[in-house]
Amino acid sequence: MVLESPQITLALEDTWGISALFCSKVRDAEQRLVTQEDARCLPQPLAVNLHILKLRMSIVGSSSNFIPTNMHWTDLVADKKQRQLKSIPQDWLVSPPPDSTLDVTGFPETCGLLNAREIEITNTSVDVLLEKLASGEWTSVDVTTAFYKRAIVAQQLVNCLTEIFVDRALARAAELDDHLKKTGKVVGPLHGLPISLKDQICIKGLETTMGYVSWIGQYAEKNAVLVDILLECGAVPFVRTNIPQTLMWPESFNNVFGRTTNPYNRSLTSGGSSGGEGALIALQGSPVGVGSDIGGSIRIPAAFCGLYGLRPSYGRVPYSGARNSLEGQDSVLSVFGPMTSSIGGLKAFMKAVTNAKPWLKDPLAVRKKWNEDEYNLADHGSGKDLCFAIMWDDGVVVPHPPIRRSLEVAKAALEKAGHKGFSRLTHFSSRAHLVAVVDWKPIKHGELGDVTRDIWNAASAEDYMITASLTGEPIITTMELENADAVLAPFRPKKGVWNALDYPAAIFPVTTVDPNLDTKKPRHDFYDDFDKGIHQMYDPETFKNAPVCLQLVGRTLEEEAVVKMTEIVDAALASAK
């Protein structure tokens, strides 16, 4: 690893020991940059290698963006939070309920800030929103304002936002409305639709801290490729959302913006690392958001917050121009994907982005437009003879009672809909579906999950420790084959298995925790101490009313089929209620 600064460039060659030494050295120097004198104090060969090894220009930034080293990290945070507060229109501030009120999902509609029409807009599905925006029935300014107001309420409830840029977003919405009025045509398939973005996705002119104090004051000089594509598609980027320090946590807490909580139960986490997106969308503060996923970071918050989310295969959604941890780690790659409260948002986002030919802007993007034949399951018997394999546990932990019950609910719903054995399903469409539901036995999920974790750890520890040390901020210390068409499975704990295999996976809601149904049952046999610890952690009252979701996993680059099969399962669940 390398640190490049106006004073000196250091080569840091050890993966673990030098990190602690370097952090200590920076603390001893009172959070200033390492000087030539500091470098001489470092032992060889860990000290200076003047033929330069970079710690990424994006970490330190250009000298014009570098944070003054005479400011303590807490002062930098206080200034940033004050600027964030000033970006909120004062008449959008409300009196939130006390912290003792755990479920705040109903508050945005009763707080008095949104009028009846704005409540209707924010409760409308993505498909209908796009129709009304394209027809001019609803203007983008009105839709963006409605979601912005609800997003600001969400911020005051669960602390889910990082960057707030109201004037800029509304100006963009007004331009789109003007274009539609003058030409009668939409700019693109996402015309006028507000879209929220995870904090790591760069927008020109905005800070991208990614939860690092040392990145405060670094303004993006250009958009991430995905942002440019969303703009071409007619979308309105309108907020960025909270993440954990380093992105490598299943919750969302950092020293810059603090902790994001779960709107269904504010004593619980919203998940991570796309936890700001999860909490925001659960409160209907955004119709579609973009998260990233290297080990579950879309699926965890989507599951915790009762949403739909898609982890696509690598390259379907462009990643270039975004900031990240784990630079140089190419074994298991992070991907961007959609999160939404309405299942139609998955297809709308993926179809728009892939049809925009992202490979022309990002050379690592896969050259594959949205394929409607694949969406109609042409490679899966046109939806006939489908086989859903249910993985009851992954051989690592036995799922908690509500997770087990959700699998049973999904299986029963599929069977009720005609998916029992090879019986005929006729309710979903005029075309008959023949579907089997079978059990699935996982193969070496524990081993593959451990290998994936080791890859992350080998690449990440020095990266995020050095970045945090630039301002002396503390490191967060809570880190720790059948012939089936798709697999239905719990989304945890070895969620990184599907990343390692590069299989697309979609999250969908099934039920909520019910202490009367999901009682804790005694167990005496465990896979290991980890399994035992997970079992002991469960308390039905603690998780009361928390969303319970499952994931549907398909084969590499079969996003279209995964979306369609998720719709089939979702329809079966809806009809069974």
The response to whether 294 counts as a known ligand-binding position is: yes
- Residue 247 labelled as part of a binding site: yes
* Catalytic annotation, pick one of 140, 196, 292, 297: 297
Q: Out of 80, 149, 198, 544, which one is annotated catalytic?
A: 198
406 has catalytic annotation: no
**Contact between 338 and 287 (Cβ < 8 Å):** no
Q: Is 273 annotated as a binding residue?
A: yes
> Is 337 annotated as contributing to ligand binding?
no
Q: Is 86 labeled as catalytic in the residue annotation?
A: no
CA–CA distance, 28 with 22 (Å, rounded to integer): 10
Cβ-in-10-Å burial (0-12, 13-18, 19+) of 521 comes to exposed
The sign one gets for the Cα dihedral 345, 146, 293, 296 is: negative
Handedness of CA 182, 188, 194, 200 (dihedral sign): negative
* H-helix segments, 56-165: 57-60, 73-86, 116-122, 126-135, 140-158
368 labelled catalytic:
no
Question: Please, are residues 182 and 207 in contact by the beta-carbon 8 Å criterion?
Answer: no
Pairing verdict, β 194-198 and 288-293? parallel
152 marked ligand binding residue? no
The residues near 343 (Cβ < 8 Å, ≥ 6 apart) are 308, 508, 566, 567, 570
Residue 439 in contact with residue 413, Cβ under 8 Å?
no
Other beta carbons less than 10 A from residue 517's beta carbon: 12
The residue type of 26 is V
- Catalytically annotated residue among 19, 273, 325, 460: 273
Confirm or deny that 395 is annotated as ligand binding: no
In the chain, the largest separation of any two C-alpha atoms, in whole Å, equals 77
- Provide CB contacts within 8 A for 106, sequence distance 6+: none
Q: Write the CA distances from 360 to 226, 228, 311, 337, integer angstroms.
A: 12, 12, 22, 19
Positive or negative: CA dihedral 532, 534, 537, 542: negative
- Show the DSSP H helices in 291-444 as ranges: 299-304, 344-355, 372-375, 401-414
Q: Which of 154, 181, 183 is nearest to 88 (CA)?
A: 154
**C-alpha torsion sign, points 441, 443, 446, 449:** negative
Task: Say if residues 200 and 290 touch (Cβ distance below 8 Å).
Answer: no
Distance CA 235, CA 307 (A): 21
Q: Which residues form the catalytic set?
A: 198, 273, 297
Annotated binding site: 247, 273, 294-297
Annotated binding site for substrate: 247, 273, 294-297
